[in-house]
Chain A
Amino acid sequence: MRKLSVPRRAFLGGAAVAIALPFFESLTPREARGQAAAAPKRFLGVFMPNGFDMADFRPIGGPGALQLGPMMASLAPFKDQLLVLGGLQNTHQDHSTGDHAGGIGAMLTSRSVKFDSEKMGGASIDQVIAEQVGGGSRLKSLELAGEAGATEGACDSYRCSIGNHISFDASGTPLPKLFDTGQVFDRLFQGFDPSASAVDVARRNQSRKSVLDAVLAQAQDLKTKLNAGDNVKLDEYLNAVREVETRIGLGSSAGSCTPPIKKEGSLTDQQRHEVLNDLVSLAFQCDITRVSTLMWGNFGSNRNYAAAGAAGGHHDLSHHGTNQSSLDKLKMIGKWEMDRLADLLGKLKALPDSDGRTVLDNTLIFYSSDVSDGDAHNHDDMPVLLAGGGANFAMNRYLTYPDEPYFGELFLSIANAYGSTMTSFGEHGDKPLPGLNA
């Protein structure tokens, strides 16, 4: 039912994928083999929509050593790499509306959403970490979507730019996410051409740079002619072009990583989640990127989990009104979600890293939602699960915080664990969250 370890060739393409050598054997210089080289630290933020049945989410037996409840049963093989946090709140909701969108915008930023703005007030934790650790990889970060398109219409009276994104850059502008798994595959592995000579590659990179340099110069000239409002947009353009140009030629060693078989098109929800798990795991192992986020559903996602035995719309069901049938279905959805997380952890744990440990040992996963209970829409006592060894927190525990600190404190602790010297994060993140290092 669940896998302790996943055979490499199971990734993406089943038996058709043939990877002759473990990736790092082919990549690591011969003389360095056997020595523990420092591995990059990775971070993955996962958003699951509409909250959880919190009675089922909470570990059993109260704070202390972690005892997984029925929802998290499939996470048992990774229990020593899990930390469940109770009592955190994710945003200051001092206004009358905005529950889902407010929770989504705040989930990785610990900031309240502003009305009439397409932006958040600052960067999300994943982007803060990417600034710290993402310098050498080909992609600064990888934003993934589990649901196509974007919710239309009113997003809790906020702009929908917020409700459909969890990652925000330093200016608070949302980072778009890719849904099409084939496109994600291409972004990670396209251009892999083992026959290209170093001269060819250098020439191709030089051509890209020369074109981007020329348009950058033109854009700089345009900047002097535009008004201040339009220049906000042009600055986005300039920053984006510079970011792409800076990374041309970076992480080319990842090209030695044998790409998996591409899986795209129509996928069941389970297949889609597992393919995304494959892609992010390999992107980490191949060092194509060190930071990723997965937004499994859009704002108010009404996905039908009939295949998990929970027919109906997820958002609709999340307004359970203590109706037992709805609560039972929410338990099934929660269990389904945890089973997919188990799949991800299994894959990360099966991948050897350059330091001789596993990729999971060098990754921290932050897993949460926009609200706590989908019916009450509350933002206190949020569901928060951390997994993996990336931040060196003391795991295998259930911690509760009766004084209800904000996510900002947790994110400050995480940012510090990744080498940032920042002293506050977002709103209400002026001190580190105690207890994480035991």
Chain B
Amino acid sequence: MPALPNAVKHRGLSRRALLSGSCLGALASALLLPACDGVLSGSQPGAGPAPGGVGSNPVGGSSGTGGAPITASSKPEVDVMTIRRLNRAEYTNTLRALTGTNQDYGAKLPPDNLSFGFDNIGEALTVQPLHIEMFEQSADAALAELFALPASDARRTQTLSCDALTGGPACVLATVQAFAERAYRRPVAAAEITPFVSVADTFTQTGGSALDGLKLALKAVLLSPYFLFRVELDVSPTSKEPHRLTAYELATRLSYYLWSSMPDDALLTSAKAGNLASDAGLAAEVSRMLGDSKAQALVSNFAGQWLNLRRVAAVKPDETAYPNFNAQLASDLQAESTLFFAELVAQGRPISELITADFSYLNQNLAAYYGVTPPSGEGFTKVLLTGAHRVGFLTQGSFLTLTSNPTHTSPVKRGKWVLDQLLCSPPPPPPPGVDASLAGTGTPASVRARLEQHRAKEPCRSCHAIMDPIGLSFENFSGIGEYRASDQFGPIDASGTLATPNGDVTFNGASELVPLLAADARLAPCVAQKVLTYAVGRGFTTSDTSALQTVLNLTGATGQGLRGLFSSVALSEAFRSRRAVGE
């Protein structure tokens, strides 16, 4: 078999290379994304009409048929979203709230599919036999825990309020109905759960104990599609007409958005009272929920995925290349960025402060790592980082380590991350058959020199001319984020040129690049787009353009930065409404 060099033996290479020779061409169909056109121009989504005011939002019935039509003068566009299965984190939190268990049952589920960067996207969340097996086992285990609690324990009485041994069928029915109402996050008619009660009856009539029978009925609730999915119904399943969610559906969306868990009693009470129908009522509820400790889920699950913080604990730099790196450092770096983000939200700091902040949260271990005066005490403390070469998230060890290869930095990965996650202008992947190598066969050279060589080639140039300068500005930070003035090839050159709407701007190092990124008109819309995606559980589409603008306007009006953004998304029509896919 003749072993032709693979790169030239590629069918149709020339045609494909031609097609993808321009980054712009490859992105022609992308939304709002003028990546790789050589200009970091603002791409503000077109300012559409603001979604209309307040439609009526009736309290939904037990298995109601969706909320009222939207009665606004200018009808907002609302794209289809698929009903969402509880993902791993949501399953854990919900089972904890429902049964009082402390176990992390979601961790037994296989990893949820990621789509659009998040693991709560309806279309991507599947149910396969393995899931059902795990749901069965977890339901059995959580209920066994519940039934083993002492009779006086509030976690037990929350569910088992009567004695199934002496209370007879009435007790079983009442217990299952009350449990189902909490599990389904809405009122439940007795007829809905009668078949589950029958399972218990049959079991006891054939010699089983009443308690074990009740357990089976409760298990059925935990395997029901109304529990495992966040079911939302359409006014007409065949109509494409957008309509408001019922109050209970909206409460459920809110709760999983802000808490990754089921609604609490206060939220359900608000829903029942119709308080969520008005902007003011909804905003008040959001404010209460953001102030609750359960809103930590927004940091873990939204920022944890948007900023990839979840991955930090698992990152494994090469031990020989980076002897200073260890599991404790990884864990501390993850904690730092998590606390940092939580602070920005809690204090309602401007969105751009994510990358421009002059402070972070450090413990003694990290103070040594960053080379700043260690805080007193054991835990994490807010520390000013002036004079420490650091500014905002992009110079935190978590980001710098995550975007490196095990043995060396990757300016390409760092630059690409900024374009993907902060500017929503992802460059397309390299075309097939392209020589994507950096390593030359000649004398070893600095990463900058090798990237320059690589960038000289087409079709690489158009995208790398934008990615590389961004990434190279962080070359003062090693593959585990330690500051360095030079590497084995000599002093670090972290200078570059960025194309902006006002022409090319030269910069030197991260401290000069970051203000340019912070001023980029794509930053705020991009962050809003990420939050909206996470909140509604589907990809961002053109129909969201006007919603996005409204969200940004509203966020600006709150003067509450990131906190205002989370609130504004909840008030958007995209969040409060749904529509069917049509015939």
Q: Note all chain A residues with C-beta closer than 8 A to B420.
A: 153-154
Q: Which of A208-216, A338-346, A385-393 contacts B (4 or more CB under 8 A)?
A: A208-216
- Interface size classification for chain A: 35 or more
Contact with B along A99-125 (1 / 0, CB 8 A): 100000000000000000010000000
The reply to whether the CB of B124 lies closer than 8 angstroms to some CB of chain A is: yes
Whether the pair B6, A321 counts as a contact (CB closer than 8 A) is no
Which of these binds chain B: A33-41, A278-286, A372-380?
Answer: A372-380
A226 engages B128 (CB within 8 Å) = no
**Which residues of A, 234-292, contact B by the 8 Å Cβ criterion?**
234, 236-237, 240-241, 243-244
Q: Are the C-beta atoms of A321 and B429 separated by less than 8 Å?
A: no
B431: which of A97, A207, A225, A228 is its contact (CB, 8 Å)? A97
Structural contact, A316 and B433, CB atoms closer than 8 A: no
SS of B interface (majority): loop
| Docked-complex contact A215 and B220, CB < 8 angstroms | yes
Q: Which of B309-330 contact A (CB under 8 A)?
A: 311, 314, 316, 318-321
Contact B216 A211 (CB under 8 A): yes
Min distance, Cβ A156 to any Cβ of chain B, angstroms: 5
Distance in Å from the Cβ of A271 to the closest Cβ of chain B?
16
A176 touches B225 (CB 8 A): no
Which one of B244-252, B348-356, B365-373, B437-445 is at the A interface? Answer: B437-445
List residues of chain A with CB within 8 A of the CB of B434: 377
Whether A322 pairs with B1 at a CB distance below 8 angstroms is: no
- CB contact between A304 and one of B3, B311, B316, B437 (< 8 Å): that residue: B316
Indicate if the CB atoms of A211 and B115 lie closer than 8 Å.
no
B224: chain A residues at CB < 8 Å are: 215, 218-219
Q: In the complex, A86 Cα to B6 Cα: how many Å? A: 14
Q: How far does the Cβ of A68 sit from chain B's closest Cβ, in whole Å? A: 16
Q: Does A150 contact B (CB under 8 A)?
A: yes
* Distance in Å: Cβ of B235 to nearest Cβ of chain A: 10
The answer for the CA separation of A325 and B232 in the assembled complex, in Å, is 57
Set of chain A residues within 8 Å of B195, measured between Cβ atoms = 214, 217-218
Is B581 interfacial (CB-CB < 8 Å)?
Answer: yes
Residues on the B chain within 8 Å of A203, using CB = 208
The verdict on A375 contacting B6 (CB below 8 Å), with A177-B110, A304-B406, A306-B320 known, is yes
Q: Is B20 an interface residue (CB 8 A)?
A: yes
Cβ–Cβ < 8 Å partners of B430 in chain A: 377
Interface membership of B7, Cβ < 8 A: yes
Q: Is A152 a contact of B305 with CB atoms below 8 Å?
A: yes
Tell yes or no: B103 within 8 A of A by CB.
no
Contact check, A152 vs B114: say whether CB atoms are below 8 A apart.
yes
Q: Do residues A161 and B124 form an inter-chain contact, with CB atoms below 8 A? A: yes
Say whether B495 faces chain A, with CB atoms less than 8 Å apart: no
B583 neighbours in A (Cβ, 8 Å): 228
Shortest distance from the beta carbon of A158 to any chain B beta carbon, whole Å: 10
Which residues in chain B, 422-438, are within 8 Å of chain A measured between CB atoms?
426, 428-438
| Cβ-defined contact, A218 with B192, below 8 A | yes
Residues of A near B108 (CB, < 8 A) are 183
Closest to B123 in A: A118
Answer whether A152 and B216 are a contact pair too, CB < 8 Å, given A176-B126, A211-B199, A319-B438.
no
Check A228 against B237 for contact (C-beta < 8 Å).
Answer: yes
Question: Known contacts A233-B82, A244-B136: does B129 contact A306 (CB below 8 Å)?
Answer: no
Q: Chain B 474-500 against A: per-residue CB contact (8 Å), 1 yes, 0 no?
A: 000000000000000000000000000
Asked whether B225 lies within 8 Å of A237 as measured between CB atoms, the reply is: yes
A149 contact set on B, CB distance < 8 A: 111, 311, 314
Task: Check B382 for interface membership: any CB of A closer than 8 A.
Answer: no
Least Cβ distance of B473 to chain A in Å? Answer: 21
**What is the bound-complex CA distance between A241 and B225, given in angstroms?**
11
Interface pair A214/B305, CB less than 8 Å apart: no
Chain A residues with Cβ below 8 Å from B316 are 304
Q: Which residues of B contact A156 (CB under 8 A)?
A: 429
- Interface-central residue, A87, A226, A323, by most chain B CB under 10 Å: A226
Decide: A63 and B6 in contact? CB cutoff 8 A: no
- Using A211-B223, A219-B225 as known contacts, say yes or no to A160 and B130 having CB atoms under 8 A apart: no
User: Beta-carbon contacts of B109-132 to A below 8 Å, as 1s and 0s?
Assistant: 011011101000011111111111
Q: Complex Cα distance A403/B430, Å?
A: 27
A98 within 8 A of B: yes
Set of chain A residues within 8 Å of B431, measured between Cβ atoms: 96-97
- Contact: B223 with A157, CB < 8 Å? no
For the complex, is B265 an interface residue (Cβ under 8 Å from A)? no
Query: With A207-B216, A377-B433 known to touch, is A321 a contact of B130 (CB < 8 Å)?
Result: no
A313 and B198 CA atoms in complex are apart in Å by 57
Give per-residue flags for B557-569: 1 if the beta carbon is below 8 A from chain A beta carbons, else 0: 0000000000000
Question: Which of B11-19, B165-173, B332-340, B390-398 is the interface stretch?
Answer: B11-19
Known contacts A140-B129, A164-B113, A319-B437: does B6 contact A218 (CB below 8 Å)?
Answer: no
Chain A residue numbers with a CB within 8 Å of B341 are none
| Partner among A86, A157, A229, A324 whose Cβ is within 8 Å of the Cβ of B80 | A229
Given contact pairs A153-B420, A229-B80, A240-B131, A321 touches B435 in the complex (Cβ within 8 A):
yes
Q: Which of A97, A243, A323 contacts B441 (CB 8 A)?
A: A323
Q: Is the CB of A380 within 8 A of B10?
A: yes
Residues of B with C-beta under 8 A to A58: 1, 3
Neighbouring A residues of B115 by C-beta, 8 Å: 118, 159-161
Report the separation of the CA atoms of residues A170 and B159 in the bound assembly, to the nearest whole angstrom: 40
B63 at the interface (CB under 8 A from A): yes
> Could you tell me if B133 and A187 are in contact, using CB atoms closer than 8 angstroms?
yes
By the criterion CB–CB under 8 Å, are A154 and B426 in contact? yes
Asked whether B234 is an interface residue with its Cβ less than 8 Å from the other chain, the reply is yes
Closest to A100 in B: B429
Would you give 30 A-B contacts (Cβ < 8 Å), ordered by A? A58-B3, A63-B1, A95-B16, A97-B428, A149-B311, A153-B420, A159-B124, A160-B113, A160-B115, A161-B113, A173-B126, A176-B130, A177-B110, A183-B108, A211-B220, A212-B223, A215-B220, A218-B225, A225-B237, A227-B238, A230-B232, A233-B229, A237-B127, A237-B228, A237-B229, A302-B405, A311-B321, A319-B438, A321-B436, A377-B432
**B interface residues (Cβ-Cβ under 8 A, vs A):** 1, 3, 5-7, 9-12, 16, 19-20, 26, 63, 65, 80, 82-83, 85, 108, 110-111, 113-115, 117, 122-133, 136, 192, 195-196, 198-199, 202-203, 208, 216, 219-220, 223-226, 228-229, 231-234, 237-238, 305, 308, 311, 314, 316, 318-321, 405-407, 410, 420, 426, 428-441, 580-583
Contacts A96-B428, A211-B216 aside, 20 further interface pairs with beta carbons under 8 A come to A54-B3, A97-B432, A153-B308, A154-B426, A156-B429, A160-B113, A228-B238, A229-B82, A232-B82, A234-B225, A240-B128, A302-B405, A304-B316, A311-B321, A311-B406, A323-B439, A373-B6, A377-B430, A377-B433, A378-B432
Contact surface of A with B, Cβ cutoff 8 Å: 54-55, 58, 62-63, 86-87, 93-99, 118, 140, 143, 148-154, 156-157, 159-161, 164, 169, 173-179, 183, 187, 203, 207-208, 210-212, 214-215, 217-219, 222, 225-230, 232-234, 236-237, 240-241, 243-244, 302, 304, 306, 311-313, 316, 319-326, 372-373, 375-381, 400, 402
